[in-house]
A and B are shown apart, each in its own frame.
Chain A
Amino acid sequence: MQADALKGGFADASFQSAKAFRAAMNAMARPGRIELLDGARPPAPMSRAAGALILTLCDPETPICLAGMHDCPDVRGWITFHTGAPISNPASASFVLGNWQSLQPLSRFPKGTSEYPDRSATLIVEMPELSATGARLSGPGIKDGTGFALPEVASFQANAALYPLGLDFFFTCGFKVAALPRSTKVEGI
C-alpha cells in the first residue's frame, strides 16, 4: 500500500463530521438539491464528497461494497484505516461506492425486507458532473418539482415503485453532493 494512501482524513473530526452529516441530511431531505461537502482528501478515484460521506456515515457495523475501479488497494486501505468498515460483497452491503456503469445491475444490492425496509443499501454514485437540469423530481421534500441530471430514468422509476423497499442514492462529484431517496418520483423529460 502507498504510504500516502492513509492521508486525507478529517483534520478536526468532530466538527467536520458534524458539518458533513448536516450536508448529507439536507441533501437527503431535499432530493435533487446540490449541497457542498468537503474536508476529506481520499485517494483517487474517490471524490472528496464521497470520501467525506464515507468518513461520516461508515463504521465497523456498516459493510461497504466497492464497485468497478473504486475497488483498488488505496481505497480499501483508506476506508479500513479511517472508518474500520468491512469491505463486503454486494448482497450484504450497507453502502456501495462506484460509478453508474460499475453499479449495474442494481438488483444485486439489498433493498430491505417488508419487516425491516431500513435494511437496504445506500448507493454512493460518483458522477462526472451534477446539474439541476434533466429528469423531473417530485415527492416528499420537494415543493413544486425540481430538476436533476440523473444517469438514466427507468432504474429510478423501478426503484421508486418498490416503496417502502428500495435503494437510496447519493450522487457525488468533486466536493458536491445530491441525493435521491426511494420516496422520490422520477419523470423523464
Chain B
Amino acid sequence: MADDASRKHWMSLLSKANPQDLAHLWAEVSMGVEFSFLRTPEVGAIMVRGRAGATGAPFNLGEMTVARCSVQLQGGEIGHAYVQGRDKTHATQAAVIDALMHTDKADTMREHILDPLSENFERARAARAARAAATKVDFFTMVRGED
C-alpha cells in the first residue's frame, strides 16, 4: 500500500494529464482490466480556493469543471479520480490506474504511464518557463558620470 504523499502525487499527475496522452499510454498497458463502477463518471463544477502566500485567509479563486469517477477492480481495490475537464473516459482511466497502483501492477503503471506523464509535464513546464524567461527584462542603472 502506498503512502498518502505518493498517492497525492500520482492522482495529481493523472488529473492534470492531457486526456489524449493518457489514452495513448493506457492503450499500451490496459491488458483488459476488469472493473465495476462504484460511482459512474459524472461531470460537475468545484470551487478552487487559494491562500495568498500559502498563509493568508482562504479565498475563492474560481470555479472549474471536473469529471469524477470511482471504480473497484475484481480483486477489490478501489480507485478514485477527479480530473480537470469533462472527459469521462479520462476520469475512468485515471480511477482504474489509481486502483491498479494498489496492486502488484503498480511498477508497470509507474513505468509506462506515470513516469512518461511526469516527463511530459516537466517538459511542458520547462518550455513555458523558458518562453517566459525570454521576455525577462533586467533593469540596471548605468553609472552616470558625475561632473
Contacts and interface: CB of A to CB of B under 8 A. Distances in A.
Interface in A3-21: 3-4, 6-7, 9, 11-13
Interface string B35-74: 0111110100000000000000000000000000010100
A13 B42 contact: yes
Contacts of B77: 3
Interface residues of A, number: 10
Interface residues of B, number: 11
A176 interface: no
A82 interface: yes
B39 A82 contact: yes
Interface in A72-114: 81-82
B39 A3 contact: no
Contact of A7 (B38, B40, B42): B38
B37 A11 contact: yes
Contacts of A81: 38-39, 70
A90 B5 CA distance: 37
Contact of B78 (A6, A11, A13): A6
Contacts of B38: 6-7, 9, 81
B72 A3 contact: yes
B70 A11 contact: no
A13 B70 contact: no
B76 interface: yes
Contacts of B72: 3, 6-7
Contacts, number: 23
Nearest to A12: B40
Contacts of B36: 7
Nearest to B78: A3
A13 B76 contact: no
Contacts of A7: 36, 38, 72
B78 A9 contact: no
A6 B42 CA distance: 17
Q: Which of A3, A4, A11, A12 has the most B CB atoms < 10 Å from its CB?
A: A3
Nearest to B36: A7
B70 A6 contact: yes
A138 B42 CA distance: 43
Contacts of A3: 72, 76-78
A13 B42 CA distance: 9
Nearest to B77: A3
B145 to A, nearest CB: 70
Nearest to A1: B78
B28 to A, nearest CB: 28
Interface of A: 3-4, 6-7, 9, 11-13, 81-82
23 contacts: A3-B72, A3-B76, A3-B77, A3-B78, A4-B76, A6-B38, A6-B70, A6-B72, A6-B78, A7-B36, A7-B38, A7-B72, A9-B38, A9-B39, A11-B37, A11-B40, A12-B40, A13-B40, A13-B42, A81-B38, A81-B39, A81-B70, A82-B39
